[in-house]
Amino acid sequence: MMNLIPLLGLPSFRSRAVSCAVVAVALWVGSVHAAEPQRGSVMVQKVPEVNAKSYLLIDAGSGKVLAEKNSDETLPPASLTKIMTSFVAATELAAGRVQPTDRVEVSVKAWKMGGSKMFIREGTEVPFEDLMKGVIIQSGNDASVAIAEHVAGDEAAFADMMNQLAKDIGMTQSNFANASGLPNEDHYTTARDLATLTQTLIERFPEHYELYSQKSFRFNDIDQPNRNRLLWRDKTVDGVKTGHTNAAGYCLVSSALRNGQRLISVVMGTASDEARMKESQKLLSYGFRNFETRRIYDANVLLKNAELWFGEAGTVELGIEEDLYVTIPRGAYDMVTADMNLPELIEAPLTKGESIGELRLTLGGEVISRTPLVTLAAAAEAGFFNRMWQRVVLFFQDLISGD
């Protein structure tokens, strides 16, 4: 069931614009800041000090940014790269171009990779699904190269796939030169892009994402723990990935799910493994303590029968195409108001899914959400004489109203 905010009363018959008065409340909306308490206000605590070069905290449901610093600064991602490596692999699996049971022959290049390793051996064949675990759980550079070569033929071609997918999902400030995250001057991303990637990964491939919560993986008689130690510290954390090089510092993308609300935190450039966990915990705790996300309206549900001119029917059904989520300060839900902004005239014919105005949510005098209203069904045009009669009605109505 959706958490329905009643739509405010709409102006009378065939109004030129539909709007409403907003409820004035002293309330945080927009940039996070500290303020003096006022009667009827909802307070949000100040963002804690986070010791990192760059960070970003978002709500995964609504995409709202809850805290950030230097989130668009391009930085080396180290093994955070492997989130994209696994995303490409999951995309190929979903398309059926590779199979979990594919036997992947390990090349000399994959076997010789330095840094963190899955410990695969040259000339052996390893199931693709095991390589995926090696990438995600063990952070294996060798497994990353093996996957890249199996999917694309070589690592350079795989990097091209990474960059194309990054562009497709809206990662605007990233470039990948390899599958592992080893240092390269042409290999970079941002906290914002990594949050976008993680949000998309969780949404598109929830079963694949479950691998990120596994605490260890045994391969070649070697047990290796997941490097994301938040999995042990916080039972609500179920991912995502650590990264470290001298250039990148200690990085962590983390995600937690509490009472149906999911947050994603990206922390880049901290001083130690302990620091990346501590700073990530600060952000997650701040987000869950101060904000909540509600599903306000469901997709494809009738929100209004709007009056229609020149159609066979006198009204057209309006709704929204996707479920509408909004992230607001805790305790502010009852202060949110909703209204529709519709055009002066809605005229037939209309196709299903055609955009007609917008649905707006307002909090504290500020619009916090704008969502297109669309037709839920087609609206056919009336016959010639019916249209002519409606034009006469419209003419006299305009005379009466003074237009």
Beta strand residue intervals within 221-314, DSSP E: 222-225, 237-245, 249-258, 261-270, 291-297, 304-307
CA–CA gap between residue 373 and residue 299 (Å, rounded): 10
CA–CA gap between residue 365 and residue 187 (Å, rounded): 43
Radius of gyration, alpha carbons of the chain: 26
**Residue given tokens 């105005």 in the structure block:** 357
Clarify whether 139 is annotated catalytic. Answer: yes
User: How wide is the angle at C-alpha 386 spanned by C-alphas 380 and 388, nearest 5°?
Assistant: 115
Contacts of 78 (CB under 8 A, 6+ apart): 181, 243, 244, 245, 247, 248, 251
Structure tokens at 320: 């929204």
**Residue given tokens 């055609």 in the structure block:** 354
**Residue given tokens 């040259």 in the structure block:** 122
Which listed residue (54, 62, 82, 254) is catalytic?
Answer: 82
User: How wide is the angle at C-alpha 166 spanned by C-alphas 288 and 279, nearest 5°?
Assistant: 30
CA–CA gap between residue 362 and residue 168 (Å, rounded): 31
CA–CA gap between residue 166 and residue 88 (Å, rounded): 9
Which listed residue (54, 71, 139, 280) is catalytic?
Answer: 139
Clarify whether 19 is annotated catalytic. Answer: no
Helix (H, G, I), strand (E, B) or coil at 9: coil
Helix axes 128-136 and 141-152, enclosed angle (nearest 10) = 140
Cα distances from 295 to residues 11, 257, 299, 303, in angstroms, run: 26, 16, 10, 15
Clarify whether 79 is annotated catalytic. Answer: yes
Structure tokens at 380: 């056919």
Which listed residue (41, 71, 79, 144) is catalytic?
Answer: 79
CA–CA gap between residue 143 and residue 112 (Å, rounded): 11
**Residue given tokens 């109203």 in the structure block:** 401
List, by residue number, the catalytic residues: 79, 82, 139
